[in-house]
């Protein structure tokens, strides 16, 4: 794991703290989740739910996840055997890759990708097969021919993140059909990372890959509470899949963490049942924040890609005369007192993302405005 060093999020948040910069790097909200949900967690602690919960997760949360899948996507998962609670989506992804892949198996991943994907693939001794998302028509997308070419005889799985971090792309039905077609043709398993499932804008729908014909049976569908309920520190996630997959993932999971923290699970079960109106308001707020930051960054001279979902805006730094996003991100605190994340670190081919920097807009308006005021001094 030596080559993985320290994650960019740890590096950039430490840089923000050290320099007193406005932190638009790491994607975490600076306001709290629904108060009644927070209260449920406190109650769970006070009520003594402080010992190991069952390995697969507390029954209330598995039931609530199952109902949520049914209500939103018309997907049926048995809470006993087809739902597994994990320590965030991060553990679900790692355990899924470890469960599915033998050493030397290949996993297709769209680049840029969330940094834990490459690390999880490396931990399994598997091989990453990147397919590049490129800007076209104001959003990032892939070439279906390139996707098909990435699949070989050792390809076992494809990891699909939509809404996509860091580009903000929400895959269209046509894009998902191309992925589903490849899965059927090459007998691939899909691992889907849907942690931003509720955070899409302008009415753009999130379509889970598992809802496409034939895909439920070959998909491990992952999500978590962090983004939906603004509790990224709770690290409570889940995976829904046919029972043999869940059993395999649980076999791995029991030796990674055995089980996830109990109090959060009860609070998240409550939130999935009672706080989806709160989430609808969050989505509306985030859309306005996206526009606020996108307009501010454009005014500061960046070329901005306005995302259909997530917390993040991609900014092309070349109009400002910069060429290397990593160098700029490291200098930005002294140049402008702002921290962002260089997109190139999310690529297997860093040169393809060299001129992009990612800014997070899941922040209070005054924080976004302060960052924009500072960035306008770059010109």
Q: How many CB atoms within 10 Å of residue 144? A: 16
For 360, half-sphere exposure in the C-beta direction (CA atoms, 13 angstrom radius) is 23
Determine the interface stretch with ligand PMP among 85-93, 296-304, 353-361, 364-372 (rule: CB under 6 A). 85-93
Task: Report the residue number, 110 or 322, with the smaller CB distance to ligand PMP.
Answer: 110
**Residues touching ligand PMP: how many (CB under 6 A)?**
14
Report what 88 binds from ligand GLN, ligand PMP, none; CB cut-off 5-8 Å by kind.
ligand PMP
Closest contact distance (angstroms) between CB of 96 and ligand GLN is 17
**296 binds ligand PMP, rule: CB under 6 A:** no
Q: Compose the 322-361 pattern: x for residues touching ligand PMP by CB under 6 A, - for all others.
A: ----------------------------------------
Using CB under 6 A, which of 155, 165, 200, 224 touches ligand GLN? 165
Using CB under 6 A, which of 21, 22, 23, 26 touches ligand GLN? 26
Cα–Cα–Cα angle for 309, 375, 355, nearest 5°?
60
**What residues pair up with 314 in beta bridges, in sequence order?**
305, 358
| Element containing residue 252 per DSSP (H, E) | helix 243-256
Residue where the block lists tokens 């109106």: 277
Give the closest residue to 332 by CA, choosing from 358, 293, 363, 313.
Answer: 358
8 A C-beta contact, residue 76 and residue 242: no
Using CB under 6 A, which of 27, 79, 208, 309 touches ligand GLN? 27
Where in 185-224 is the site for ligand PMP (CB under 6 A)? 193, 195, 224
Closest contact distance (angstroms) between CB of 268 and ligand PMP is 11
Determine the interface stretch with ligand PMP among 84-92, 202-210, 292-300, 350-358 (rule: CB under 6 A). 84-92
Report what 9 binds from ligand PMP, ligand GLN, none; CB cut-off 5-8 Å by kind.
ligand GLN
Task: Report the residue number, 9 or 143, with the smaller CB distance to ligand GLN.
Answer: 9
Task: Report the residue number, 238 or 322, with the smaller CB distance to ligand PMP.
Answer: 238
Report what 57 binds from ligand PMP, ligand GLN, none; CB cut-off 5-8 Å by kind.
none
Q: 163 preceded by cis ω (within 30°)?
A: yes
Report what 325 binds from ligand PMP, ligand GLN, none; CB cut-off 5-8 Å by kind.
none
Q: Which residues bind ligand PMP (CB under 6 A)?
A: 88-90, 114, 161, 165, 193, 195, 224, 226-227, 232, 235, 237
List residues near ligand GLN by CB under 6 A: 7, 9, 26-27, 165
């Amino acid at each position: 794991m030596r080559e993985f060093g320290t994650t960019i999020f740890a590096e950039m948040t430490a840089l923000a703290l050290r320099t007193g910069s406005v932190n638009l790097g790491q994607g975490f909200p600076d306001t709290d989740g629904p108060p009644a949900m927070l209260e449920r967690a406190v109650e769970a602690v006070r009520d003594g739910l402080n010992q190991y919960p069952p390995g697969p997760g507390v029954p209330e949360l598995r039931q609530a996840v199952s109902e949520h899948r049914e209500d939103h996507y018309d997907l049926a998962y048995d809470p006993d055997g087809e739902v597994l609670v994990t320590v965030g989506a991060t553990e679900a992804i790692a355990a899924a890759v470890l469960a599915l892949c033998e050493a030397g198996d290949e996993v297709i991943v769209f680049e840029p990708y969330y940094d834990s994907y490459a690390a999880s693939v490396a931990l399994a001794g598997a091989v990453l097969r990147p397919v590049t998302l490129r800007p076209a028509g104001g959003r990032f997308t892939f070439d279906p021919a390139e996707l098909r070419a990435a699949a070989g005889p050792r390809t076992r799985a494809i990891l699909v993140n939509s809404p996509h971090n860091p580009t903000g792309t929400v895959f269209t039905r046509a894009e998902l059909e191309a992925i589903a077609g490849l899965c059927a043709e090459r007998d691939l398993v899909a691992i889907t990372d849907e942690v931003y499932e509720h955070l899409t804008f302008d009415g753009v729908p999130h379509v889970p890959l598992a809802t496409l014909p034939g895909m439920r049976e070959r998909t491990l569908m992952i999500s978590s509470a962090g983004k939906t309920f603004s509790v990224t520190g709770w690290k409570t996630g889940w995976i829904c899949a046919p029972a043999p997959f869940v059993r395999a993932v649980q076999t791995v999971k029991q030796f990674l963490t055995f089980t996830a923290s109990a109090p959060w699970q009860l609070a998240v079960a409550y939130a999935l049942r009672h706080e989806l109106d709160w989430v609808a308001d969050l989505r509306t707020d985030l859309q306005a924040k996206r526009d606020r930051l996108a307009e501010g960054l454009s005014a500061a001279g960046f070329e901005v890609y306005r995302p259909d979902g997530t917390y993040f805006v991609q900014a092309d730094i070349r109009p400002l005369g910069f060429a290397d996003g990593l160098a700029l991100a490291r200098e930005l605190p002294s140049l402008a007192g702002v921290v962002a994340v260089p997109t190139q670190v999310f690529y297997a081919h860093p040169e393809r993302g060299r001129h992009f920097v990612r800014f997070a807009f899941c922040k209070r308006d005054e924080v976004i405005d302060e960052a924009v005021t500072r960035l306008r001094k770059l010109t």
